[in-house]
Structure 1
């Protein structure tokens, strides 16, 4: 495969990478916690803990790739390198769909969490209108070329964690001082399967660290540290939030306020409007960052695939004045508006991360190919593996294939209509890919 060398300034340390990754991952479970609670019932902590397995598996795979191949591109580059152009395109195109949904859930989530200040903001059509305005604002900023720095993200991460820590410390104090409510935990097959359908997709966003490998200082060290740090922090915070929800008896409150579940939990436990506003506002900031992240990631993905010849060159066209990929930015923003227009958290949550789950499955297969094809590369981080008929197979890939196939099966059985949405997006992309490929040979 022909390599194209791109020089990027390496100025992202472990903390900056951790901030980038955590803001993306946390925005996912901040947005979906209410939906997961609604479907998991009293098994919420269990489904959230099991759901984190998806994050750890793909994170460990990205860690091995990133420490050996310090190049920007993430899953798109890794899969294209190991499995070829067609699978690389499918990866990039599927990830771009979730980047669009990230824009949508970030905008709608921001509006919903701010409803503690403006109660009517979370009601349709107001939530839809405000969400679209947020997308338009961030779209214009990106076209003009204004970028948020990683250090700014780090500052916002600290603000967010202070808000969450305030809720957890005071919340658990209230629970302990007033008596723990031990819920009945009957094994309910529907609770488990429906909850896992969402929780296995509830920790996406770690891709941003893999995509930033080419900009990382000492990637062989900073990438593993950042990915493991984000995975551990996200798992602990999500588990503590879900346990607090269950033990405090707030399960009904959280599951009936799917738009701003953590804000509702704060109001229920703290009975202090100012603390509740602070916690909701800090989460709204993280969700607002995800709008920008989605636009930047989509435009970067489309630009890269266009530059690599997998999409029409026109899509990589850059604005003459501002030097930004304006067509890709506008495309992602307009598509995201279609998902925010109904103002439905359920619609976005049901559609989100189906594409990423497929990509994660392909990443596990690519890791097997990587372990056997590129034995000459120095691996500063290597997951344990076994040898099957002279083929080296990482244990992460074995478990990952099982987990992601299970996740896809659950989605197909329980939310099949949304699989059709993703397949439609994929078919559109493959049509563009094949037409573009044929035009290059004429």
Structure 2
């Protein structure tokens, strides 16, 4: 094992399809369709596909922020690096880096727990079995390195995409299915209700945020990262829109519109997924092996994407001297194994402990909810970083960056407003006591930064010297 700074460093081994499928895995497409997309369908009814399209466009605007920043910053670390370079240097970067770590570990754990919960609810597989298998496979893949992880993501992600498309086509071909124009039903849904559905829809193509921290291992990063971010958002949104449209068409083959709307309301009020109910109605036991594969696969891919992103953030912070240098150590295969193991084991421990204490459903809700504020801060920091970058003049035109500063400013402001709106919609009625774990971690980070600053300035005693060992 060698030190990344002095000898090896991360290797640029990832191509477009590697990061595309790694990021698509971070969306957990099948799981998203059974949760977020089902919620959109229940809230917006037959206008649900329109809400998905609007949500995808909104996510695309946020994704453009990362796409534009990725043309300026091509090192590992993603959001940490953006904040370090454009928002006040290393202290700000450290703050954003820890927020990203909090978000990524908790969000990844929520995904794998959610997959285990659905496997237990739909198929009766104990969560202890599916959760353990998913976490074990994820940890092994992360340890083996990003190239093997990417190959698994391409293989498993391709199968899942094909399965989703085939299922949707089968549902569209159901006899007596009624094809409808979802845009024609927009007027029947109050705007406020439609926007709530859009908030859920925005959550579907969120996996693009896991691409940025991997930039240091991507070939032609300025070109590929930007393309992958945009492509994965469009793909995730298109799959979700197709899934719920085909579900509605199939449902209308044996229910009239009023019965279908009542069915959606009753199913979701009981915590059931209308998508799964309709799928079982037509596919029966044929659906079970697909669900088993999809649930375990989504658990693995979802958690793996966030572990890889978190480990690269840890690596970048250590590489800059912000964390102990051991976290920047890389093995002979170019894998920052210490950071990877810490990220994977932290997610494993968090997922198992919270699920054991609270049960899979409550653990899923808690971890997903707690990661929300950190996610808000991370995305806002990227929005502000792009605006700050666009106000700087660079000496030479670089990949068209300096020629599109007006666009960058407009995108950053729009994305910031969207992020704030989404946060407000999400936290209405929230009990702030539930956010205590996040505020505790945030306070610890702030105190650390203050003490670290005092130590570096020598204000805690004339005989005390502090230096960072790198």
Report the TM range for the smaller structure's normalisation.
0.7 to 0.9
Q: Is the 8 A contact 1:23 1:289 kept in 2?
A: yes
Alpha-carbon distance in 2 for matches of 1:109, 1:383: 43
Q: Is the 8 A contact 2:383 2:416 kept in 1?
A: yes
| Greater shift in the superposed pair: 365-374 or 34-43 | 34-43
Structure 1 residue 192: Cα displacement: 3.3
Q: Is the 8 A contact 1:47 1:192 kept in 2?
A: yes
Matched, 1:301 2:342: no
Alpha-carbon distance in 2 for matches of 1:22, 1:408: 23
Partner of 1:82: 86
| Greater shift in the superposed pair: 62-71 or 350-359 | 350-359
Partner of 2:283: 271
> What are structure 1's unaligned runs of at least 5 residues?
none
Q: Output the TM-score relative to the length of structure 2.
A: 0.77
Question: Out of 421, 426, 437, which is 2:442 matched to?
Answer: 426
Q: Is the 8 A contact 2:105 2:343 kept in 1?
A: no
Encode CA deviations 1:297-328: one digit per residue, 9 max, x unaligned. Answer: 33332343244333456766899xx9533444
Structure 1 residue 75: Cα displacement: 1.5
CA gap 1:212/1:261 in 2 versus in 1, 3 angstroms: farther
Q: Is the 8 A contact 2:103 2:374 kept in 1?
A: yes
Q: Is the 8 A contact 1:111 1:131 kept in 2?
A: yes
Alpha-carbon distance in 1 for matches of 2:289, 2:456: 55
Alpha-carbon distance in 1 for matches of 2:94, 2:104: 15
Q: Please identify runs of 4+ aligned residues in structure 1 that moved more than 6 A.
A: 181-184, 314-319
DSSP-derived class of the 2:366 partner: helix
> What are structure 2's unaligned runs of at least 5 residues?
252-259, 458-465
Partner of 2:420: 405
Structure 1 residue 403: Cα displacement: 0.6
CA gap 1:47/1:98 in 2 versus in 1, 3 angstroms: farther
DSSP-derived class of the 2:212 partner: helix
Matched, 1:16 2:18: yes
Matched, 1:371 2:373: no
CA gap 1:229/1:108 in 2 versus in 1, 3 angstroms: same
Structure 1 residue 206: Cα displacement: 0.7
Alpha-carbon distance in 2 for matches of 1:7, 1:173: 52
Partner of 1:154: 154
Structure 1 residue 393: Cα displacement: 5.5
Structure 1 residue 220: Cα displacement: 3.1
Alpha-carbon distance in 2 for matches of 1:197, 1:142: 33
Q: Is the 8 A contact 1:201 1:352 kept in 2?
A: no
CA gap 1:294/1:138 in 2 versus in 1, 3 angstroms: farther
RMSD: 3.6
Q: Output the TM-score relative to the length of structure 1.
A: 0.81
Aligned length: 425
| Greater shift in the superposed pair: 279-288 or 139-148 | 139-148
Alpha-carbon distance in 2 for matches of 1:158, 1:139: 18
DSSP-derived class of the 1:271 partner: helix
Encode CA deviations 1:358-386: one digit per residue, 9 max, x unaligned. Answer: 21122111111112225235442559967
Question: Out of 35, 40, 45, which is 1:37 matched to?
Answer: 40
Query: Which residues of 2 match residues 52-63 of structure 1 at below 5 A?
Result: 52-63=56-67
Partner of 1:137: 136
CA gap 1:181/1:220 in 2 versus in 1, 3 angstroms: closer
Query: Which residues of 2 match residues 31-430 of structure 1 at below 5 A?
Result: 32-33=35-36, 36-37=39-40, 40-42=43-45, 43-83=47-87, 84-115=89-120, 119-121=123-125, 126-127=126-127, 129-130=128-129, 133-134=132-133, 137-138=136-137, 141=140, 145=144, 148-174=148-174, 177-180=176-179, 186-188=188-190, 191-247=193-249, 248=251, 249=260, 251-252=264-265, 255=268, 262-268=275-281, 270-311=282-323, 323-325=337-339, 326-341=341-356, 342=358, 343-344=360-361, 345-376=364-395, 378-380=397-399, 382=401, 394-415=409-430, 417=432, 421-430=437-446
Q: Is the 8 A contact 1:97 1:355 kept in 2?
A: yes
CA gap 1:109/1:214 in 2 versus in 1, 3 angstroms: same
For the pair shown, the structure with the greater C-alpha radius of gyration is 2
CA gap 1:265/1:277 in 2 versus in 1, 3 angstroms: farther
